[in-house]
Amino acid sequence: MFIDELEIEVKSGAGGNGCVSFRREKYVARGGPDGGNGGDGGNVILKVDPSFNTLLPLRNMRHYRAGKGTNGKGSDMTGARGSDLVLFVPKGTLVRDRESGTLIGDLTSDADSLVVAQGGRGGKGNAHFATAAHRAPRFAQPGEAAIVRWIRLELKVMADIGLVGFPNAGKSSLIRAISAARPKVADYPFTTLVPQLGVVDAGNLESFVVADIPGIIQGAHAGQGLGHRFLRHIERTKWLLILLDPTDPERSVHDAYQTLQDELKAFSDVLARKGFSVAFTKADLPMSDDQEVALQKLADTLTEQKIDHLHISSLKEQNLKTLVRQLNERVKSNERWYPEIEKEPKRTTQMSDPLDEL
């Protein structure tokens, strides 16, 4: 099952309290304070696991807790630190605060990790507050409280090329033909229900990743069909490949192209600005005279606009090598898009210091 959105509550560990204690040993006069510090609470950490491609492992629980710090003890014994809780997520996971929607972090590489709830600091024992003027403090500092927050996890798959097209435009057939991915292929709409990734061998030890999302229909940006839910998955790609079926009896190739352009622009500014190429699919199928005229007219327009376009057949593997070569060059010449990450607000909670009250 593919899960790309999830809300969970995380709670860090509270810090342990400092200890009030005095040395009471035989033959040790005026032993003085020896209360130890409390241990720090554990953090809740999100860490990328490259083997994950869904948020499904986190679906079974809604509340996650890190370990509490233990209290300090006499003889200057510091309490044990609470254990961290590490939650593994797939690469490409965005983390937002559920209440404010603020972006906390974006985990985009295999080594990324993010502290989403920092453990409370342990309180100081009375030994910490002993001074020449105040040799026997009878107070200690309480541990800092735990942080509790709801976070929203959003997965955006990491790929170089995003395939865009209407249902049955040939996206799944293409990704099967140029990679080892095996998405379902059938002659009915929405055979692709979740994003599919395929690694394409471009030769010379070069490769790139292609993402296939469910077909887009008119009104997708507003929630029509399945494509709207997955359009965000191609926001990260370096380049888009728009697939158009000239043999589609329901719409002309020009109308299909214009509708897809409108949907991408309406969904986000990121997709509106992203570069793209066009592939006319199913070159092995016959076309009517009107379809041939519409295809040639759109091809001439794309040529004038200097937009790459090819007529391909995934079944006959027509022009697929040329297409792969062109896409590989686009991947190498375009930087991957990343969102600007808003800095997480600095901690504002301050621990009270008993000395301030003296």
pLDDT recorded at residue 271 = 85
Within the chain, all domains assigned CATH 2.70.210.12 are found at 1-155
Average pLDDT over residues 321-339: 81
Contact present, 140 and 35 (Cβ < 8 Å): yes
Q: Report whether pLDDT(4) > 90.
A: no
Specify the pairing of strand 196-203 against strand 206-212: antiparallel
Bridge partners (DSSP) of residue 6 are 153
State the pLDDT confidence band at 29, using cuts at 50, 70 and 90: low
Indicate the CATH number for domain 1-155: 2.70.210.12
Which tokens go with 43?
């953090």
From 11-25, 46-60, 112-126, 246-260, the region with the lowest mean pLDDT: 46-60
Asked if 1 and 43 count as a contact pair (C-beta separation under 8 A), the reply is no
| pLDDT, position 9 | 96
Distance CA 232, CA 157 (A): 9
In the chain, residues under CATH classification 3.40.50.300 are 161-333
Q: For residue 111, count other CB atoms closer than 10 A to its CB.
A: 9
Out of 56-70, 208-222, 276-290, pick the least confident. Answer: 208-222
pLDDT digits (tens, 9 = 90+) for 149-205: 999 998 887 788 889 888 888 888 898 898 876 655 444 444 445 677 788 888 887
Taken as a whole, the chain contains a residue count of 358
Among 42-46, 165-169, 293-297, whose mean pLDDT is lowest?
165-169
pLDDT at 155: 85
Q: What pLDDT is attached to residue 7?
A: 93
Q: Please, are residues 211 and 192 in contact by the beta-carbon 8 Å criterion?
A: no
- pLDDT tens-digit readout, 195-233: 777 888 888 878 888 888 776 655 544 444 444 566 777
* Beta strand extents in the chain (DSSP E only): 5-11, 44-48, 63-65, 85-89, 93-97, 103-107, 113-117, 148-155, 161-165, 196-203, 206-212, 239-244, 276-280, 309-311
- Would you list the DSSP string of 78-103? PPPPPPPEEEEE-TTEEEEETTT--E
Report the alpha-carbon distance of residue 174 to residue 167 in Å, rounded: 13
Residues 155, 161, 166: CA angle, nearest 5 degrees: 85
CB atoms within 10 A of CB 300: 10
pLDDT beyond 60 at 135: yes
Share above pLDDT 90 across residues of the chain, in percent, rounded to a whole number:
47
Measure Cα distances from 242 to 216, 247, 309, 317, 328 in Å.
Answer: 11, 15, 9, 18, 16
Mean pLDDT in the chain?
A: 83
Phi-psi sector, 315: left (phi>0), alpha (psi -120 to 50), beta: alpha
Instruction: Name the CATH code of domain 161-333 (choices 3.40.50.300, 3.40.50.2300, 2.40.30.70, 3.30.2020.30).
Output: 3.40.50.300
Per-residue pLDDT for 19 more than 80? yes
The answer to whether 163 touches 174, Cβ cutoff 8 Å, is yes
Task: Please report the pLDDT score of residue 343 as a whole number.
Answer: 39
Task: With beta carbons less than 8 A apart as the criterion, state whether 216 and 231 touch.
Answer: yes
Residue 2 has a pLDDT of 62
Integer Cα distance of 217 and 267 in angstroms = 13
Q: Give the per-residue pLDDT at 348.
A: 37
Q: What is the pLDDT of residue 21?
A: 92
Percent of the chain with pLDDT over 70: 84
